Amino acid sequence: MFWKKSGSRKPAPADGPFTEQQAAALQAFRLPSWQQPVPQEWWQKDDDTITLNLPFAAHSSLLSELGSLACFAGMRFKINCRIEKLSNSQPELPLIYGNVIVVSSGKGGVGKSSVAVQLALALAETGATTGLLDADVYGPSLPTMLGGGDEKQDMSPQNKLIPHLRHGVHVSSMGYLADAKEAAIWRGPMASAALQQLFRDSQWPRLDYLVIDMPPGTGDIQLTLAQKMPVTGAVVVTTPQNVALADAEKGIAMFRKVGIPLTGLVENMSFYHCPNCGFEEAIFGRAGGERVAHDYDVPLLAQLPLASAVREALDAGAPLLASDPDHELNQPLRAMAAAIAGQLYLQEKAKCA
Ligand SMILES: Nc1ncnc2c1ncn2[C@@H]1O[C@H](COP(=O)(O)OP(=O)(O)OP(=O)(O)O)[C@@H](O)[C@H]1O
């Protein structure tokens, strides 16, 4: 097991780079969705800077809690990501796609595309080269959420589609090519062929992560697509309502049946957070995602709030991570991205153990 390699979990001795108190605080620190402390050797101290060296994407703000502790007064924290390329379900494909994260949902309208878009932005924000493929060919919504719908599609001299660079993410979507209403009437095989073309005939830069926004549902089309793509891990998005959870369970079963690694569950619209008084209400019920995660033994990677500011920003083609980076609603999204990237890494290490 990976953890054993990193040696004893005891705090570093006081004469190491850290004082005893500092070592204990680092030991108690947890990355989002990690049960264990990060290996001690990932921490590095240079003068007044403490760096966490990670093999996956995570935003430095995740360390702000540590920075506010008295034992670290006068010190600054940062995360340095050197993203490791993990294995995927199609090892024969070229490495340029990086770590491929499929975002799916059993049911429409739960916020799958919103999660895919914000995940891609949060990964790109850490410096990771990130692509986003709109596989939701029936209703491509990425040009709406990321803007630039009227930009023309550039082609390379080799006649490949050059992905649109939107808010730091390389995006390929049928929505930039075809009329969305036209795409909506395509039948299964046509949509599947179009998607594969979009995937293979896009001139992606060498990516660290490729996020794929799948069509909603758990039918044959979704199954075929998932099997034809090089998947590092699949994320299932749900809301806490029983109807959505029942469909999320079908999604989990679908990925398990065809042997696609399941990274975990994201619960969207978990609660409403009133921006005026701070009151929180679980509009769609409580603890549904936790129950499914427990019953199916998959990690619950995030519980995202329902917030009108999120919807308004997405409708305007400028998600909050891009248009208002300091907004408080970005923190759960950054934690989600780190949870997903970290979980992909942990699952790979568990495979190798
Ligand atoms: N956490 C949230 N808070 C507020 N609005 C949200 C949130 N998540 C998603 N939305 C809004 O809900 C609507 C549906 O979201 P989205 O299109 O992402 O769902 P979907 O599951 O991808 O739908 P489809 O099945 O049609 O592809 C959008 O208007 C989006 O802005």
10 is annotated as contributing to ligand binding: no
pLDDT tens, position by position, 263-290:
999 999 988 888 888 788 887 777 888 8
Average pLDDT, the chain: 87
CB burial string 299-310: b at 16+ within 10 A, e below: bbbbbbbbbeeb
Residues 127 and 182 in one domain: yes
202 and 283 belong to one structural domain: yes
Q: State whether the Cα torsion 278-282-286-292 is positive or negative.
A: negative
Closest Cα to atom 11, ligand 1: which residue? 311
Mark which of 81, 108, 139 sits at the end of a domain. 81
Q: What is the mean pLDDT of residues 89-107?
A: 84
> How high is the ipTM of this complex?
0.98
| Residue 1: band (very low, low, confident or very high) from pLDDT cuts 50, 70, 90 | very low
Quick one: pLDDT at residue 127?
Answer: 97
On whether both 166 and 46 belong to a single domain, the answer is: no
- What domain count does the chain have? 2
The stretch 336-343 carries a mean pLDDT of 98
85 is in an annotated binding site: no
Q: 272 in helix, strand or coil?
A: strand
* Residue that is last in its domain, among 81, 105, 136: 81
- Taking the centre of ligand 1 as the mean of its atom positions, its distance from the CA of residue 263, in whole angstroms, is 21
Find the mean pLDDT for residues 328-343: 97
Residues 23 and 152 in one domain: no
Whether the CA torsion 337, 11, 67, 51 is positive or negative: it is negative
Q: How far is the CA of 301 from the centre of ligand 1 (A)?
A: 18
Beta carbons within 10 angstroms of residue 189's beta carbon: 10
CATH number at residue 305: 3.40.50.300
> Which residues have CB under 6 Å of ligand 1?
105, 108-114, 136, 139, 141, 216, 268-269, 304, 306-307, 310-311, 314
Q: Are 235 and 269 in contact (CB under 8 A)?
A: no
Residue 134 resides in a domain = yes
Q: How far is the CA of 109 from the centre of ligand 1 (A)?
A: 6
* Residue 140 shares a structural domain with residue 229: yes
Amino acid identity at 52: L
Domain of 220, in residue numbers: 95-352
CA of 210 to the centre of ligand 1 (A): 20
Same domain, 300 and 240: yes
Q: What's the distance, CA 274 to chain centroid?
A: 25
Do 66 and 128 lie in one domain? The reply is: no
Residues 68 and 125 in one domain: no
Strands lying side by side in the sheet with 76-81: 43-46, 49-54, 76-81
Instruction: Please report the sign of the dihedral spanned by the C-alpha atoms of residue 157, residue 159, residue 165, residue 166.
Output: positive
Instruction: Show Cβ contacts of residue 152 under 8 Å, excluding neighbours closer than 6 positions.
Output: none
- Given this model, what pLDDT does residue 4 score? 38
Contact 113, 102 (CB under 8 A): no
Same domain for 183 and 54:
no
Counting atoms of ligand 1 from 1, which one is nearest the CA of 315?
31
Structure confidence at residue 7 (pLDDT): 42
Asked whether residue 222 falls in the same domain as residue 73, the answer is no
Name the nearest CA neighbour of 252 among 107, 97, 99.
Answer: 107
Separation of alpha carbons 28 and 47, rounded Å: 22
Same domain, residue pair 130 and 77: no
User: Does 46 score more than 60 pLDDT?
Assistant: yes
pLDDT band per the 50, 70, 90 thresholds, residue 159: confident
Give 184-242 pLDDT, tens digit per residue. Answer: 555 666 667 777 788 888 999 999 999 999 888 877 777 777 788 889 999 999 998 88
Q: How many angstroms separate the CA atoms of 15 and 262, rounded? A: 43
Same domain (yes/no): 59, 195:
no
Q: At what angle do helices 242-257 and 220-228 cross, to 10 degrees?
A: 50
Q: Is 258 annotated among the ligand-binding residues?
A: no
- Please list, residue by residue across 265-289, b when 16 or more beta carbons sit within 10 angstroms of its beta carbon and e when fewer do: bbbbbbbbbeeeeeeeeeebeeebb
pLDDT tens-digit map of 110-157: 999 999 999 999 999 999 999 999 987 777 789 899 998 888 788 888
Query: Does residue 86 fall inside a structural domain?
Result: no
* 347 within some domain: yes
